[in-house]
Amino acid sequence: MLNLTGYANKLSVGPGDRIRFMVSTDLPDYEATIVRLLHGDPSPSGPGFKEQALESKANGRYSGQFQPILPGSYVIVPTRQELQSLESLTVQAWIFPTTPDLGRQQGIVTAMARDGTKGFALGLGKDGDLQFVVGGEAAPEAVSTGVAMRAREWYFVAAIYNAAAGTAVVVQRPLKPIPNDVTDVVARGDQVGGLLANDEPLILGAGTAPPRVAHHFNGKIDSPRIFRRSLTELELDQLRAGIDPVQLAPEAIVAAWDPSCELDTDRFVDVGPGGLHGTAVNMPTRAVTGRNWTGREVDWRLVPEEYAATHFHDDDLDDAGWQHDFELSVPDEWPSGIYAARLQSGEAEEYIPFVVRPPGKNAPSHVAVLLPTMTYQAYANERTVSQLHSADPSGILGKPATLDPADHFLIEHPEFGKSLYDIHTDGGGCCYSSRLRPILNMRPKHHMWTVGGSRHLRADLCLIDWLEHEKISYVVFTDEDLHHEGADLIAPYRTVITGSHPEYCTASMLDALSEYRNGGGRLMYLGGNGFYWVTSVDPARPHVIEVRRGHSGSRAWESLPGECHHSTTGEMGGLWRHRGRAPQSLMGVGFTAMGWDRSSHYTRTKESYDPEVGFIFEGVTDEDIGGFGLVMGGAAGDELDRADSLLGTPANARVVASSQGHHSDFYQHVVEEVVANYANESHGGVDNPEVRADVIYFQTPGGGAVFSVGSISWVGSLSHNQYDNNVSRITENVLRSFLEQPRSDRQESAVLGV
């Protein structure tokens, strides 16, 4: 069990900045030490785990405290007189339940005291039927339809309470009834006690008020409303037919929430006269189709009235909301790099990584490493192996799967929030990921189950270690830095090096890298499957990223019809190639295959002997490159990229090496390039020539250049044979060549602000 976890409020800080660390443990105390991370992979075939402990005022022993994580999304509406003075009322909404058979209560609209003695609650009962609870002077009384709703169908639901008559009616009507539909029910309760006001806020999408919100609803809620009297049967029919409630009963309307308003924020707008606006908590999914979606448009910005729904999940998580235990003020003298707060107590150990940026705007180095933190966040607490159910992972990997202790913990602890690869309790895909929570697989020692070793941060530390060994001065930035600051951030540097897996990329990141490259900058793409998914950063909550998988690409789940546009920015999600920005057009290569049984090697091409690219192979006499490494035994593996002129590889690009030996159907061609299936056509590595990685080099008109290796595994081979190997030599040749050729005086002056 992992009983010591934490996170930081920032991923990137500069000299003089403050960073806070939030920690939870059931241990009495722990020791915190700030360390600089240099190498993550502990394998004896490499240099081993390396870190440097630093002197810091943040170091010390701290008292432990347990801090819970409370997942589940809902909307909270502060208490107002309009809600406290209700006697008779009608509560109405459209709902799309996704787990009516969950076996527990699920709140839809709730204004009930915590002890259940005052107020009302409309929701699903344990058996999936509509239930209305009235809390008065006596014990709470419930009226229910007694018939479970069907999953993933729209229902018109209402509860009507008449104080004078002491009656309650619940209405459960399917949008699309079938003959003799048993789920189309109206039920009545007599001698129901009166409502009593309470001071608790109103909750949409859950059944109890903070701090311990419970009974979360799974599914969509569209246009919930409250009236201050009992509506007639005719009025209910008019509501069901789509009449505006403010026009229908203007004197009776208390609240009419319209989730289509300001849906790119956490604000839940009430269009009624009272302005009972709410706040969405834990990122329920917005920009989802409502009960009246026609399919004529798929962009919510064009027909917002057809997107007046919000999808709630009981495992949504935005900000864990922990109190901070200690903080660090970054000393001016600390060099840019990858750092962590190391926490230890007995055998328990935790690392909370962060990046220290260089000071100011001027470059203290000619090399900038771009750490793919968007990818780290997309994979945050990934539990894909648990979604395989009874399937043996070895049938996918071609080898036994070995899980990290964090993987076992996460499978048992959904409260830590999910990754963009996971599915919610109700089977829908997770499209938001927050970094304000413990991310247990963003750790320097984390063992990735697919490759059986280094991936993500642990793999990217292989690059940091190599730069340290080669005594090449460098600075580190995060994807988040580049997204917010654009090309100006990297303009002063002669070379920008990517991490091993920059899969998730925003439009501003692509713009910045393109501007840098076309302005004379040199890019070294030392990874694979990069610049693949359209990614958004929430402008209002920059700790949250969004990805809509769409209907193509090598995806863990698929967007529902009409739900491919991001709620946070409005842009169309899916693959960048489908928006005319394939990775080949930026880096010369793009995603072509993936496999996890083993990595392989590259073989030099005839083009590699052209004098124009001779500098790449200076001192290299081998025909085969990289048949070794910490990641599955080779430099070409995991996920692979190839050149393709149809997707934008420049005409002057030179493919100087291509991988060989993926003679296994555990390596598969990416699905977005499989147009049709034929009996005699193979998509695996045994027969498909497009299952390969290409090493490519080309120059740009602005005096820049690009070198790409097309494989996630490349950086894992840098340290082989104590750094004396052809992968290391090629990487060094290219980097030193890029550094020895300064940009023009005009370019150097411009980027340095002279």
Among candidate residues 318, 295, 313, 307, the one with its CA nearest the CA of residue 538: 318
pLDDT of residue 679: 62
- Burial class from Cβ neighbours inside 10 Å (0-12, 13-18, 19+) for residue 309 reads buried
Could you tell me how far CA 303 lies from the centroid of its own chain? 26
Q: Give just the sign of the alpha carbon dihedral 188, 192, 194, 196.
A: negative
- Where are the domains positioned within the chain? 74-312, 456-531+578-754
- What separation in angstroms does the CA of 137 have from each of 86, 118, 360? 15, 7, 65
Two tokens at 528?
């694979």
- Using an 8 Å Cβ cutoff, are 510 and 586 in contact? yes
Please report the beta strands in 317-366, taking only residues with DSSP state E, as ranges in sequence order.
324-329, 337-345, 348-356
Among candidate residues 488, 355, 473, 370, the one with its CA nearest the CA of residue 15: 355
Among candidate residues 134, 287, 142, 130, the one with its CA nearest the CA of residue 197: 134
Query: Is the domain covering 456-531+578-754 a CATH 3.40.50 domain?
Result: yes
Phi/psi of residue 305, nearest 5 degrees: -65, -20
Beta bridge partners of 279: 76, 267
CA distance 75 to 59: 40
Q: Mind listing the pLDDT tens digit for each residue in 435-457?
A: 999 999 999 999 999 999 999 99
Sorted by sequence, the CB contacts under 8 Å of residue 431 that are 6+ apart come out as 285, 420, 546, 547, 548, 549, 559
- What separation in angstroms does the CA of 347 have from each of 6, 22, 33, 168, 404? 16, 20, 15, 58, 16
- What separation in angstroms does the CA of 79 have from each of 198, 486, 567? 9, 43, 28
Among candidate residues 558, 432, 480, the one with its CA nearest the CA of residue 8: 480
Residue ranges in the chain modelled with pLDDT below 50: 389-390, 745-747, 749-754
Beta bridge partners of 533: 504, 575
CA distance 375 to 530: 9
pTM of the model: 0.96
Phi/psi of residue 616, nearest 5 degrees: -65, -35
Q: Mind listing the pLDDT tens digit for each residue in 453-483?
A: 999 999 999 999 999 999 999 999 999 999 9
How many CA atoms are closer than 13 Å to the CA of 163, on its beta-carbon side?
A: 15
CA distance 97 to 222: 11
pLDDT of residue 630: 98
- Using an 8 Å Cβ cutoff, are 454 and 464 in contact? no
CA distance 3 to 440: 12
- Burial class from Cβ neighbours inside 10 Å (0-12, 13-18, 19+) for residue 645 reads exposed
pLDDT of residue 139: 62
- Using an 8 Å Cβ cutoff, are 483 and 537 in contact? yes
Cα-based torsion angle of the residue sequence 203, 204, 206, 210 in order, rounded to the nearest 10 degrees: -30
Phi-psi region of 241 (alpha: psi -120 to 50; beta: other; left: phi over 0): alpha
Cα-based torsion angle of the residue sequence 32, 36, 37, 43 in order, rounded to the nearest 10 degrees: -80
DSSP letters for 114-146: TTSSSEEEEEE-TTS-EEEEEE-SSS-EEEE--
Phi/psi of residue 417, nearest 5 degrees: 80, 160
Query: Is the domain covering 74-312 a CATH 3.40.50.1370 domain?
Result: no
Upstream peptide bond of 68 is cis (omega within 30 degrees of 0): no
